[in-house]
Amino acid sequence: MLSKFKKQIFYVQIKENSFIVRCANSGKSVSLDADTPFSSGHLLVGEFNIAEKLLRQAFKDLQESWLRPIAIMHPLELIGEKLSDVEERVLQELALSAGARDVKLWIGQELTDEEILNA
């Protein structure tokens, strides 16, 4: 019963028109590709509503707690050396709209579950 109140951390890797979402607590993951593209031109998330719907589905598939998850958003494509303020805001709002209670942004190498849980 108490496991329903356990904090969950979702690691979200974002590629053109797809998400790979892994729960760092359980190691379970889901990979979803958009039927309708949400990336456009130079924007990883150009169609917010389509991306939100897809990410919400991934969160729903992995969520094992009544508490909303913490999301670590990791864009893997269509980024320069750093994210612009607009790109940061889009990723934060995307995760919050999909059901996250808190959002962290990550640029760099892929994170392991251990790195995520010990941060």
Collect the ranges in the chain with pLDDT lower than 50.
Answer: 1-2
What predicted TM-score, i.e. pTM, was given to this entire model?
0.92
Classified as helix, coil or strand, 30 is strand
Classified as helix, coil or strand, 62 is helix
Q: What is the pLDDT, as a whole number, of residue 106?
A: 95
Of 3.30.420.40, 1.10.357.10, 3.40.50.300, 3.30.70.2860, the CATH number of 2-117 is: 3.30.420.40
Q: What is the pLDDT of residues 26-48, one digit of tens each?
A: 999 999 999 999 999 889 999 99
Q: What is the pLDDT, as a whole number, of residue 4?
A: 58
* Domain spans, the chain: 2-117
Q: What is the pLDDT, as a whole number, of residue 2?
A: 47
Q: What is the pLDDT, as a whole number, of residue 83?
A: 87
Q: Tokens for 10? A: 């979702």
| Neighbour tally for 12: CB within 10 Å | 24
Q: What is the pLDDT, as a whole number, of residue 1?
A: 46
CA distances from 81 to 16, 50, 66, 69 (A): 17, 26, 37, 28
Q: Tokens for 29? A: 């993951």
